[in-house]
Chains A and B, each alone.
Chain A
Amino acid sequence: MGVVGKRVARVEGHERVGGAGLFADDLKFHGMIHAAVVRSPVARGLIRKLDFRRALKVPGVKGVFTFKDIPGKNCVPIVIDDQPFLAEKYVNYVGEPIAVVVAESRKAARTAASIAGVGINELPALLDPLKARNHRAIHLFGDDNIFRHMKIRRGDMEKAFANCDVIIENEYRTPYQEHAYIEPQAMIAIPYPDGSIEIRGSMQCPFYVRKAVTTILDLPESKVRVVQCATGGGFGGKEDVPSLLACQAALPAWKLGVPVKLVYDRAEDMISTSKRHPGWIHYKSGATKDGVLRAVEAEYVIDGGAYSTLSAVVLFRGTVHAAGPYKCENVKVDSYAVATNKVPTGAFRGFGSPQILFAVESQMDQLAEKLGINPLEFRRINILRKGDCTVTGQKIEHSIGLEETLDRVIQASGWSPSTPKEDGVGFGLSTIFYGVGLGAGGKHLARTGARVMLHEDGSVLFSVGTTEIGQGMATVLSQIVADELSVPLSWVCMTPTDTSRVPDSGPTVASRSTTMSGNALKDACLKIWGVLHDEAACMLGQMTPEIAFEDGLAMCGDRKIPLLDIIKSCVAKRRPLSAEGWHISPPTSFDSDTGQGDAYVTYAYASNLAKVKVDRETGEVTVLKIWSAHDVGKAINPALAEGQIEGGTLQGVGFALMEEMKTDDKGRIINPEFSTYIIPTAKDQPEIVPIIVEHPYPDGPYGAKGFGEQPLMGIAPAIANAVQDAVGVRIRDLPLTAEKIWQRLKKK
Chain B
Amino acid sequence: MKLRFRLNGKFIALEIPGAERLIDLLRERLDLVGTKEGCGKGECGACTVLLDGKPVCSCLILAAQVAGREIVTIEGVAADKRYAQILNAFEETGAVQCGYCSPGMIVSTAALLEKDRHPSNEEIKRALAGNLCRCTGYSKIIEAVSRASELMAQDQK
In the complex, are there CB atoms of A and B closer than 8 Å?
A: yes
Instruction: Pull 29 A–B residue pairs with CB atoms less than 8 Å apart, ordered by A.
Output: A10-B94, A13-B91, A13-B99, A17-B102, A19-B35, A19-B36, A25-B37, A181-B98, A181-B100, A181-B134, A182-B36, A182-B100, A182-B134, A230-B98, A232-B98, A232-B101, A233-B134, A472-B97, A642-B94, A642-B140, A643-B97, A649-B137, A674-B39, A679-B132, A679-B134, A681-B132, A682-B125, A682-B128, A688-B137
Determine which of A13, A18, A20, A651 lies in contact with B134 in the assembled complex, contact meaning CB atoms within 8 Å.
Answer: A651
Interfacial chain A residues near B71, Cβ < 8 Å: none
- Interface residues in B, total, Cβ within 8 A: 51
Q: Per-residue 0/1 for A660-686: is the Cβ within 8 Å of any B Cβ (1 yes, 0 no)?
A: 000000000000011100011111010
The answer to whether B90 touches A17, judged by C-beta atoms less than 8 angstroms apart, is yes
Distance in angstroms from A254 CB to nearest chain B CB is 25
The answer to whether B98 touches A469, judged by C-beta atoms less than 8 angstroms apart, is yes
Interfacial chain B residues near A184, Cβ < 8 Å: 37-39
The answer to whether B141 touches A682, judged by C-beta atoms less than 8 angstroms apart, is yes
Interfacial chain B residues near A231, Cβ < 8 Å: 98
Interfacial chain B residues near A598, Cβ < 8 Å: none
Provide the bound-state CA to CA distance between A150 and B135, in Å. Answer: 33
Q: Per-residue 0/1 for A615-656: is the Cβ within 8 Å of any B Cβ (1 yes, 0 no)?
A: 000000000000000000000000110110011111100000
The answer to whether B138 touches A685, judged by C-beta atoms less than 8 angstroms apart, is yes
Interfacial chain B residues near A14, Cβ < 8 Å: 91
Interfacial chain A residues near B130, Cβ < 8 Å: 681
Interface residues on A, range: 35 or more
Q: Per-residue 0/1 for B95-131: is the Cβ within 8 Å of any A Cβ (1 yes, 0 no)?
A: 0111111110010000000000000000011101111
Interfacial chain A residues near B134, Cβ < 8 Å: 179-182, 233, 235, 647, 651, 679
The answer to whether B100 touches A232, judged by C-beta atoms less than 8 angstroms apart, is yes
The answer to whether B87 touches A17, judged by C-beta atoms less than 8 angstroms apart, is yes
Interfacial chain B residues near A183, Cβ < 8 Å: 36, 38, 46, 98, 100
Q: Give residues of chain A (18-34) contacting chain B, Cβ–Cβ below 8 Å.
A: 18-23, 25-26, 28
Assess whether B50 is interfacial by the CB under 8 Å rule.
Answer: no
Determine which of B39, B97, B138 lies in contact with A682 in the assembled complex, contact meaning CB atoms within 8 Å.
Answer: B138
Provide the bound-state CA to CA distance between A503 and B129, in Å. Answer: 43
Determine which of A16, A20, A182 lies in contact with B44 in the assembled complex, contact meaning CB atoms within 8 Å.
Answer: A182
The answer to whether A688 touches B91, judged by C-beta atoms less than 8 angstroms apart, is no
Interfacial chain B residues near A28, Cβ < 8 Å: 31
* Interchain pairs with CB closer than 8 A, number: 170
Assess whether A148 is interfacial by the CB under 8 Å rule.
Answer: no
Assess whether B70 is interfacial by the CB under 8 Å rule.
Answer: no
The answer to whether A647 touches B75, judged by C-beta atoms less than 8 angstroms apart, is no
Distance in angstroms from A181 CB to nearest chain B CB is 6
State the 7 A-B residue pairs at the shortest beta-carbon distance, nearest first.
A19-B34, A470-B98, A16-B99, A232-B100, A650-B137, A674-B43, A646-B137
Provide the bound-state CA to CA distance between A509 and B136, in Å. Answer: 18
Assess whether B33 is interfacial by the CB under 8 Å rule.
Answer: yes
The answer to whether A683 touches B136, judged by C-beta atoms less than 8 angstroms apart, is no
The answer to whether A17 touches B94, judged by C-beta atoms less than 8 angstroms apart, is no
Determine which of A182, A469, A643 lies in contact with B38 in the assembled complex, contact meaning CB atoms within 8 Å.
Answer: A182
| Binding site secondary structure of chain A | loop
Q: Per-residue 0/1 for B20-36: is the Cβ within 8 Å of any A Cβ (1 yes, 0 no)?
A: 00000001000101111
| Beta-carbon nearest neighbor of A107 in chain B | B24
The answer to whether A643 touches B140, judged by C-beta atoms less than 8 angstroms apart, is yes
Provide the bound-state CA to CA distance between A25 and B26, in Å. Answer: 13
The answer to whether B39 touches A643, judged by C-beta atoms less than 8 angstroms apart, is no
The answer to whether A182 touches B43, judged by C-beta atoms less than 8 angstroms apart, is no
The answer to whether A17 touches B101, judged by C-beta atoms less than 8 angstroms apart, is no
Provide the bound-state CA to CA distance between A680 and B34, in Å. Answer: 24
Determine which of A21, A266, A688 lies in contact with B40 in the assembled complex, contact meaning CB atoms within 8 Å.
Answer: A266
The answer to whether A646 touches B131, judged by C-beta atoms less than 8 angstroms apart, is no
The answer to whether B126 touches A182, judged by C-beta atoms less than 8 angstroms apart, is no
Assess whether A471 is interfacial by the CB under 8 Å rule.
Answer: yes
The answer to whether A647 touches B135, judged by C-beta atoms less than 8 angstroms apart, is yes
Assess whether B65 is interfacial by the CB under 8 Å rule.
Answer: no
Q: Give residues of chain A (201-237) contacting chain B, Cβ–Cβ below 8 Å.
A: 230-233, 235
Determine which of B40, B46, B78 lies in contact with A18 in the assembled complex, contact meaning CB atoms within 8 Å.
Answer: B78
Assess whether B72 is interfacial by the CB under 8 Å rule.
Answer: no
| Beta-carbon nearest neighbor of A237 in chain B | B134
Interfacial chain A residues near B140, Cβ < 8 Å: 642-643, 646
Interfacial chain B residues near A472, Cβ < 8 Å: 97
Distance in angstroms from B115 CB to nearest chain A CB is 17
Provide the bound-state CA to CA distance between A235 and B98, in Å. Answer: 11
The answer to whether A688 touches B39, judged by C-beta atoms less than 8 angstroms apart, is no
Assess whether B133 is interfacial by the CB under 8 Å rule.
Answer: yes
Assess whether A265 is interfacial by the CB under 8 Å rule.
Answer: yes
| Beta-carbon nearest neighbor of B34 in chain A | A19
Determine which of B39, B100, B137, B139 lies in contact with A23 in the assembled complex, contact meaning CB atoms within 8 Å.
Answer: B100
Assess whether A412 is interfacial by the CB under 8 Å rule.
Answer: no
Distance in angstroms from B102 CB to nearest chain A CB is 5
Distance in angstroms from B41 CB to nearest chain A CB is 7
Determine which of B73, B129, B136 lies in contact with A643 in the assembled complex, contact meaning CB atoms within 8 Å.
Answer: B136
| Known A181-B134, A471-B97, A646-B140: A21·B34 in contact at CB below 8 Å | yes
Assess whether B142 is interfacial by the CB under 8 Å rule.
Answer: yes
Assess whether A9 is interfacial by the CB under 8 Å rule.
Answer: yes
Interfacial chain B residues near A648, Cβ < 8 Å: 137
Assess whether B56 is interfacial by the CB under 8 Å rule.
Answer: no
Provide the bound-state CA to CA distance between A681 and B130, in Å. Answer: 7
Assess whether B92 is interfacial by the CB under 8 Å rule.
Answer: yes
Provide the bound-state CA to CA distance between A16 and B102, in Å. Answer: 7
Determine which of B40, B99, B125 lies in contact with A17 in the assembled complex, contact meaning CB atoms within 8 Å.
Answer: B99
Q: Per-residue 0/1 for A685-706: is the Cβ within 8 Å of any B Cβ (1 yes, 0 no)?
A: 1001000000000000000000
Interfacial chain B residues near A179, Cβ < 8 Å: 134
Interfacial chain B residues near A233, Cβ < 8 Å: 97-98, 100, 134-135
Distance in angstroms from B140 CB to nearest chain A CB is 6
Provide the bound-state CA to CA distance between A22 and B102, in Å. Answer: 13
Distance in angstroms from A75 CB to nearest chain B CB is 30
Provide the bound-state CA to CA distance between A265 and B27, in Å. Answer: 16
| Beta-carbon nearest neighbor of B88 in chain A | A17
| Known A13-B96, A17-B90: A647·B137 in contact at CB below 8 Å | yes
Assess whether B74 is interfacial by the CB under 8 Å rule.
Answer: yes
Interfacial chain B residues near A683, Cβ < 8 Å: 125-126, 129
Distance in angstroms from A321 CB to nearest chain B CB is 23
Provide the bound-state CA to CA distance between A562 and B75, in Å. Answer: 40
Distance in angstroms from B116 CB to nearest chain A CB is 16
Distance in angstroms from A342 CB to nearest chain B CB is 23
Q: Per-residue 0/1 for A20-60: is the Cβ within 8 Å of any B Cβ (1 yes, 0 no)?
A: 11110110100000000000000000000000000000000
Q: Which of A17, A230, A472, A650 neighbours the largest number of chain B CB atoms within 10 Å of its CB?
A: A17
Q: Give residues of chain A (179-197) contacting chain B, Cβ–Cβ below 8 Å.
A: 179-184
Provide the bound-state CA to CA distance between A231 and B33, in Å. Answer: 15
Determine which of A19, A21, A647, A675 lies in contact with B97 in the assembled complex, contact meaning CB atoms within 8 Å.
Answer: A647
| Beta-carbon nearest neighbor of A686 in chain B | B137
Interfacial chain A residues near B39, Cβ < 8 Å: 184, 266, 673-674
